Amino acid sequence: MSDYIMELRKTVGHRLLLSVGVGVLVLDGAGRLLLQKRSDNGCWDYAGGAVEPDEDVEAAARRELEEETGLRAGALELFGVFSGPDCHFYYPNGDEVSYVILLYTCRDYSGALTPQPGEVEELRFFAPDELPGDISPVSRRPLRAWLEKEG
């Protein structure tokens, strides 16, 4: 969790925060999607997180990708923007957030897969027709949209 969010949480506790989030759909040469098994809820998700104050959203996407997976993004393409009731989430610790998510695709990357300790249990590429069933709730609609476009 960012210092900014931690400071806000000291004031508002678990109450609802509106947050801008970014995510990156990393695709390998075979069209498989990189997902990570999250430590906080045990679900699979794409790399991503909150945008810091005054941070460029594309820079945030690159930062989150590298922090969580060890990969450095080359070209990023904006896939879509997602918000609304499907992007409302309660973390296991009780924190409530409503996200506006800017989701990017990335086919151009470098580095070695390295799960972020404490946040990511496992990293794995999945074929579009073999995605796991336990997808993190906030990411279900964006991934459905990606599958509809890719399929």
The DSSP string of 65-132 is HHHHHS-EE-S-EEEEEE-SGGGEEE-TTS-EEEEEEEEEEE--EES---PPTTTEEEEEEE-GGG--
Query: Domain 13-150 adopts which CATH fold?
Result: Nucleoside Triphosphate Pyrophosphohydrolase (3.90.79)
Check: pTM over 0.85? Answer yes or no: yes
Domain boundaries, the chain: 13-150
Q: What is the pLDDT of residue 151?
A: 62
Q: What are phi and psi for residue 63, nearest 5 degrees?
A: -60, -50
pLDDT digits (tens, 9 = 90+) for 11-41: 999 999 999 999 999 999 999 999 999 999 9
Q: What is the pLDDT of residue 2?
A: 81
Q: What is the pLDDT of residue 150?
A: 81
101/42 Cα distance (integer angstroms): 21
Q: What is the pLDDT of residue 23?
A: 98
Tally of CA atoms within 13 A in the half-sphere of 109 that contains its CB: 27
CA geometry: angle at 55 spanning 54 and 57, to 5°?
A: 130
Beta-strand pair 96-106/17-26: parallel
Low-confidence ranges of the chain (pLDDT < 50): none
SS3 146: helix
- For residues 94 and 9, the answer to whether their CB atoms sit within 8 Å is no
30/91 Cα distance (integer angstroms): 33
